Structure 1
Amino acid sequence: MRSAIILAAGKGTRMKSDSPKVLHPIIDRPMLGYIVDGLKEAGASRIVVVAGYRADEVRKAFPDLEFAIQEPQLGSGHAAMQATALAGETGLTLVINGDGPCIQPDTLKKLYEAAEGKSLTLLSSVQEDGAHYGRIVRDANGGVTAIVEAKDCTPAQREIREVNAGMYCFDTQDLFEGLKKLTPDNAQNEYYITDLVKIFAQEGKSVDAIVIDDPDETAGINDPVELAAAWSWLQQKICERHMKNGVQICDPARTVIGKDVVIGRDVLIEPDVTILGSSIIGDGARILAGTRLENAVIGKRACIDACRGYNVTVPDDAQAGPFAVLKNE
C-alpha cells in the first residue's frame, strides 16, 4: 500500500499572516491542495496531514483526509511520530512538507517506484549553492550515509552541492521502528527525520537517493515573495501543458488557468483571461481578452468576448459579449 504523511504544522511566521501557511491560495486552491492532488495521482491511498497551527482550519479545508496534531512542534521527526494511524500498515510511506506545491505527480510516482524493496529512498537536487539545505553525504561507492543539516555542517560538508529536497519514501514498518530511535542531539534540540538516514545506514539497511530532474519542483514557500514565484511557475506549467495539446495561448504570463480546466484543440486564448474550476472549453472556441470563466462550459467554436461567466453553459457557435455577465440562475 502507498501512504503519505504531509508535514503541515507550522504557522509560517515569515508569511506575516494569521492564516496557516499551507492554506494560502495559488490560482484556485490552497497550496496544500497541489501536494494532496499529486500524492493521489501517484497512488497514495492513505494521506495523514500532521497539523498544528490553526489545525481546525486546515482540517475543514480538507475534510476527506486523515489528521494528526503536533503540539509542541519539535522537528520533522517529531511530526512524523504523530502519524500513528499508519504505524500498523505495510508498504511504502512518503513523507513530504506541506509548503512545496510545485512538486509534480510524475516525480512522486518515480519516488514511490524507486523505493520498492528499500528501507528509505529520498529525493535530492543539485544546487549551485547548498545554502540552508541539508547536505547529502555519500560513501566512496556512492551510497547515502547521512543528511547533515546546514547548521550542523563541517566546512567540508558545506561544499557539497547535492542537497536534501525534503521528500522521503520509507518502508512503512522501518519508518516507525526508526522513529523510536531518534534523539534531539543537534543544534536545534529537535528530532530530525533526516537522522534516519544515518541510523538505517549504520544498521545495514538500504538507503538510496534519486536526483530530481527539475530542482524548481522542490522549491518551498516561506514568504509572499516565494508564494508569488510558485504561482508563476505553476501558471506557466499549466499553460505549457495546454499549448502542447494544441491550444493557442497568446501570452501565458497574462493567462491564468486552473489545474482541473479541460480545453479542446484549436482554442484561442487572448491575454488577461482567467479560467477556473471545472470549466470545459470546446474545440475551436475563442476566449477573448478580459474574460473570466468559473465552472463554465463553452461550446465548440463559441466566442467569448470580455465576459464574466459563472456556472454557465454557452452553446456551440454562440457569441457572448462584449462585456456581458453570464450566470446560470
Structure 2
Amino acid sequence: MSLEIIILAAGKGTRMCSTLPKVLHKIAGKSMLGHVIECARKLTPQKIHVVVGHGAELVKEQFVADDLNFVIQEQQLGTGHAVATAVPYVNADNVLILYGDVPLIEENTLRALLQKVQVKSLGLLTVTLTDPTGYGRIIRDQKGNVVAIVEQKDASESQKQITEGNTGILALPSEPLKKWLSQLSNKNTQGEYYLTDIIAMAVADSYTIVTNQPQSEMEVQGANDRIQLAQLERFYQLRAAQQLMKQGVSLIDPHRFDLRGEIVVGSDIEIDINVILEGKVVIEDNVSIGANCIIKNSILRKGVVIKPNSHIDGAILGEESDVGPFARLRPGTILHENTHVGNFVELKNTSLGNYSKVGHLTYLGDTEVGSYCNIGAGTITCNYDGVNKYKTILGNEVFIGSNSSLVAPVVIGDAATTAAGSTITRDVAANSLAIGRAQQIQKDNWQKPKPNK
C-alpha cells in the first residue's frame, strides 16, 4: 500500500532560548529535522509533508527538495491541529506521523510498526519508561487492548502510575484519519487539539490498536532544551562508536569520539581519543589516527598514520603515508604512497609524489611535487599575488633547502636543488643548484653531495 509521511516541525522551542527554530538545532553536525527526514526517506514514501511554523522560511531554505512538501501551521493549536493542516495534501493509502525534534528514530523501528498495520487497524509506537513524567499514558482494557491515551496534565493519579508512554508516532490509514481529525475537540487542560484523542475514536469505530516499541527509550526521546540535546548527542555518538567497533575499529575511549557524517571503514583501524570525523570519510585497513585529530571529507588509504592534533579536510592520503603531528591538509591535497608530512606543515591544493617528504614548518599551496623530493623546513610557495593564484611545479628528486621561498609560477626541474634561504623567482633547470639569496645563480650540471663513507 502507498505511504506518505507527515513530520511535525512547527514548534518554536522556547526552552532552547534561541532565535533558531528548535528542529534546526544539531545532533552530530546535522539538524534534528535533517535526521528525521533522512530516516523518513529510507521508507521510500510517495511524499513527505513537513508542517512548519516558527522560522518556517529558514527551515524551508535548508531542506528544499522535490520530495518535500512544506505546510504552514499559522497557529500552534496542538498536534491534532498540526496534522490536520497537512492531511488535505495526502493522497496515499497510509500515513506515518513523525516529529522533527525526535532525531534518533530508526528505520527498523518504523518498518516494524508499519508491518503491523493491517485492514481496520492503527499502529502506535509506545515506550516503557522508568520515569514517564510528561508522557501521555497508554490506557489498556482488561484484555490488554489499547483503548485510549491520556495526557499527563489530564491524567488521574492512578493513570499517572502507568509506565507505558505515548511516543506520538502513528501509522494509520489516511481516510479514517481525516474523519477523526475533523471530530477533535480542544476541551482539555491545554485548550489544544490532541492527536492522541483519535485513539479512542478509532476504538469506537472498531479499529484495532497495534503497538510496537523501540529498542531504547532514547530512540524516541525529544529535545526540548539544550540539556536534552546534549544527552541525545552523547547517546548518538556512543551508538555510532559501538557500531564501528563491531566493524573492526578500535576506539581507545568510545566516550571521547565524535562522528558527524558518514564513514566507511576497513579493519584493524585504531582511533585515539577526541577524534572528530565529519562529512564523508573513508578509512581503509590498518590506519592509525592519533588523539585530537579532525578529519573531514577525506580518504585514508591502507596503512596511513595520522599523528595527534592534525586537521585533514578534503584530502586523499595514499597508502603508507604519514601525517603530523600538528599538520593541516586542506581541500585538494593528494598524498601519494609512502609520503611524509611533518609537524606544522600546511598543504592546500597540492599533490605530493611517492616517497616525497615535507618535514617541518612549511606551506605548499597550488603545488605539484614529484617523487622522492625533500622539502626543507620553513619553505613556502608564494602562490598568490593578491589577485590571482599560480602553480609551483617540482619534478622528481628535487631538494628544496630550508627557508626557501618559491615564487609562483615557477618550475623546478628533476634532481634540482635550491640553496637554503633562497627566494626562487625563475624556473630552475634539471640537475642544477639555484641560489637566490641576493642574486639568483644557476650552476649547470651540478653534482649533488654524496653520503660520507
Please report the TM-score for the alignment, with normalisation by the length of structure 2: 0.70
Note the alpha carbon deviations across 1:76-96, whole angstroms, 9 max, x for none: 000001114543322x21111
Tell me the residue number matched to 2:52. 51
User: Contact (CA 8 Å) 2:16, 2:224: kept in 1 or not?
Assistant: yes
Offset of 1:228 from its aligned partner?
0.4
Offset of 1:259 from its aligned partner?
4.1
Tell me the residue number matched to 1:167. 169
Amino acid at match of 2:276: T
1:114-193 pair list within 5 angstroms = 114-193=116-195
Structure number with the higher strand fraction is 2
Structure 1 Cα separation of the partners of residues 120 and 240 of structure 2: 34
Tell me the residue number matched to 2:329. 326
2:50 alignment partner, SS class: strand
Tell me the residue number matched to 1:308. 311
1:277 alignment partner, SS class: strand
Offset of 1:254 from its aligned partner?
1.1
Tell me the residue number matched to 1:257. 259
The answer for unaligned runs of 5 or more in structure 2 is 333-348, 350-453
Offset of 1:283 from its aligned partner?
1.4
1:235-246 pair list within 5 angstroms = 235-246=237-248
User: Contact (CA 8 Å) 2:258, 2:276: kept in 1 or not?
Assistant: yes
Offset of 1:174 from its aligned partner?
2.1
Tell me the residue number matched to 2:402. none
Tell me the residue number matched to 1:10. 11
Note the alpha carbon deviations across 1:29-75, whole angstroms, 9 max, x for none: 11111111122223334211100001011111111122101111100
Aligned residue pairs, count: 328
Offset of 1:118 from its aligned partner?
4.3
Amino acid at match of 1:253: H
- Which of 64, 80, 90 pairs up with 1:77? 80
Structure 2 Cα separation of the partners of residues 264 and 172 of structure 1: 45
Give runs of ≥4 in structure 1 deviating > 6 Å: none
Tell me the residue number matched to 1:200. 202
Percent of aligned positions that are identical: 35
User: Contact (CA 8 Å) 1:87, 1:176: kept in 2 or not?
Assistant: no
Deviates more, 1:159-168 or 1:77-86: 77-86
- Which of 234, 237, 253 pairs up with 2:236? 234
User: Contact (CA 8 Å) 2:46, 2:92: kept in 1 or not?
Assistant: no
Structure number with the higher helix fraction is 1
Amino acid at match of 2:310: C
Larger Rg: 2
Amino acid at match of 1:241: Q
Tell me the residue number matched to 2:113. 111
Structure 2 Cα separation of the partners of residues 118 and 265 of structure 1: 49
1:155 alignment partner, SS class: coil
The answer for unaligned runs of 5 or more in structure 1 is none
CA RMSD of aligned residues (A): 1.4
1:74 alignment partner, SS class: coil
